[in-house]
Amino acid sequence: MDRNTLYGMLGQTVESINMDLPVIRGKVRDIIELGSHLLIVTTDRISAFDRVLSTIPCKGEVLNRISLFWFGKTEDIIPNHVERVVSARSVLVRKCELVPVEVVVRGYLTGSAWRDYRKGRDISGIRLPDGMRFNERFEEPLVTPSTKAERGIHDEPISEERLVSEGIVTEELWKKIRETALRLYRRGSEVAAGNGMILVDTKYEFGLYEGELMLVDEIHTPDSSRYWYMDTYDELFERGEPQRKLDKEYLRQWLIGKGFMGDGEIPQIPDEVRVEVAWRYIKAYETVTGEEFRPESRGVEEEVSLLQTVVNGFSM
Ligand SMILES: Nc1ncnc2c1ncn2[C@@H]1O[C@H](COP(=O)(O)OP(=O)(O)OP(=O)(O)O)[C@@H](O)[C@H]1O
Ligand SMILES: [Mg+2]
């Protein structure tokens, strides 16, 4: 895979799937409901600041394949929603009753937690000691939940006490979720360390299928997680400088440079930037999985006919 190939792919991204069936569109995924199951298609759409901005070559495949990699590495901790892999970007999953909480686990003081800490605020109800520094590692990882807001509304941090007292989850279920999330984060950190990366923080979603708790959505992807390079962490931390990262930050910074932070008109994203973003997603895949990325790159029509076969088989 080289950058020239990616330029050639700019016109062939999968923006959305059209079928003779209702398709539910998330920011990134197109979802077909099949009763007890869902067909989830990870498109090439990219979102930042909660807005869909553009498409990025190979992004859907990269995200889905990184998730599949991690589902495989964590099956012994908790079952996940995957029933069958349909293509590099599409999976048939068990449709779960969602636990309406974004379960964020943080190993380091960074991002929104750092911004809140600097303003003297607590982090999802957790009071941190004074004198902590930018990007400092926590003794123990923190679980900082957010409510999963309705479409179009930003998720709100919430304390674990309120999650239970407001009846969003039962105490027993929350205990199980929190323990599982911490085990997943530990496993993620260990595997990432083997490939020279720090899994800084991440978000999990859980659901119930026939009463059983499962991991749903995506896991340890660059859309749901921060990754930093291990070899330069200490040096940059000591100097108080930003870490070298493998995540969506490049596009966010480019947008901020154009004065866009989610409101108003979306700036036109040039080809060079789309290719650079694609390149970084592919590097993320290769670094995290330790494998070379070879795109399957089916066109939309071929993807749709594959999906149609699954749908037909399902209604029989
Ligand atoms: N197994 C599952 N059962 C039910 N819902 C699921 C399952 N896996 C993922 N989902 C939901 O499907 C959606 C995935 O779509 P996408 O990631 O594009 O949405 P999103 O923009 O993150 O949406 P939202 O802001 O609504 O969460 C999410 O709302 C996620 O919670
Ligand atoms: Mg999502």
Same domain, 126 and 196: yes
Of all atoms in ligand 1, which is nearest to the CA of residue 47?
21
Residues with CB under 6 A from ligand 1: 26-29, 31, 38, 81, 93-96, 98, 151, 205, 207, 216-217
**φ, ψ at 251 (rounded to 5°):** -70, -40
Ligand 1 centroid to residue 98 C-alpha, Å: 9
Same domain, 218 and 252: no
- Residue 264: which CATH number? 3.30.200.20
Same domain, 143 and 227: yes
* Structure token digits, residue 275: 């290719």
Same domain, 230 and 294: no
Residues 102 and 59: their CA atoms lie apart, in Å, by 22
Q: Work out the angle at residue 130's Cα, subtended by the Cα atoms of residues 126 and 133, and round it to the nearest 5 degrees.
A: 95
**φ, ψ at 300 (rounded to 5°):** -60, -45
Whole-model pTM: value is 0.94
Same domain, 205 and 115: yes
Could you tell me the residue range of the domain that residue 170 belongs to?
99-239
| Strands 82-85 and 45-48, sheet pairing | unpaired
Of all atoms in ligand 1, which is nearest to the CA of residue 93?
1
Closest residue CA from atom 29 of ligand 1: 26
Task: Over range 289-312, report the average pLDDT.
Answer: 92
Same domain, 141 and 258: no
Domain count, the chain: 2
Contact indicator for 253, 219 with CB cutoff of 8 Å: no
Residues 314 and 173: their CA atoms lie apart, in Å, by 32
Same domain, 103 and 230: yes
94-134 pLDDT per residue, tens: 999 999 999 999 999 999 999 999 999 999 999 999 999 99
Among 219, 239, 259, the domain-final residue is 239
137-150 pLDDT per residue, tens: 999 999 999 998 76
Phi-psi map region of 47: left, alpha, beta (phi>0 left; psi -120 to 50 alpha): beta
Same domain, 165 and 274: no
135-192 pLDDT per residue, tens: 999 999 999 999 987 665 677 899 999 999 999 999 999 999 999 999 999 999 999 9
Q: Which amino acid is at 149?
A: A
